[in-house]
Amino acid sequence: MPRWKYLSYRGDPNIKGLEEWFIDLSDKVRGIAGVPLIVTSGLRKSTSKIGVKNSAHEKGVAIDARSTSSFTHYRFVLALIRNGIKRIGIYVKPFPCQHCKKLITEVKLRPSHIHFDKSKDHPQEVLWVGVSK
Ligand SMILES: [Zn+2]
């Protein structure tokens, strides 16, 4: 019997290298969220050029999951808080306005992904908003 109900090393290669207890927790989050947990980034080497230095990703206790609507953002935040996760980042991505063609510099923001982690070395009970690159 597989260890996780939703996540697997085969189906979700980006979970490789994460702490198993953190995958256990993420699988529970997925169940409560009721929306697909598509892991876009998990473990990162300290030499990675992606993200910030000394992030929870380097310790194998962080996931970036695709979340491209305000509905999935809500479902993830609900499930993360219910599972005791106290570090959540909501990410949006700029895209050109379809209607304001005159204003080339104007951008709108759309949901992109959600970050969550269980780092003990970073501030707790934080929810931040960031811009995806
Ligand atoms: Zn992240």
Does a structural domain hold residue 106?
yes
Ligand 1 being an ion, which residues bring their Cβ within 5 A of it? Answer: 64, 115
Cβ burial 67-78 (10 Å sphere, 16+ → b, else e):
beeeebbebbbe
Domain range holding 51?
Answer: 13-131
Query: How many Å lie between the centroid of ligand 1 and the Cα of residue 2?
Result: 26
Does a structural domain hold residue 103?
yes
Does a structural domain hold residue 2?
no
Q: Single out the residue of 25, 109, 26 nearest to residue 69, CA to CA.
A: 109
pLDDT score for 97: 64
Q: What is the pLDDT of residues 66-79, one digit of tens each?
A: 999 999 999 999 99
Quick one: 56 exposed, middle or buried, by C-beta within 10 A (0-12, 13-18, 19+)? buried
Query: How many Å lie between the centroid of ligand 1 and the Cα of residue 103?
Result: 32
More confident residue, 24 or 104: 24
Query: How many Å lie between the centroid of ligand 1 and the Cα of residue 63?
Result: 6
Q: What is the pLDDT of residues 15-25, one digit of tens each?
A: 999 999 999 99
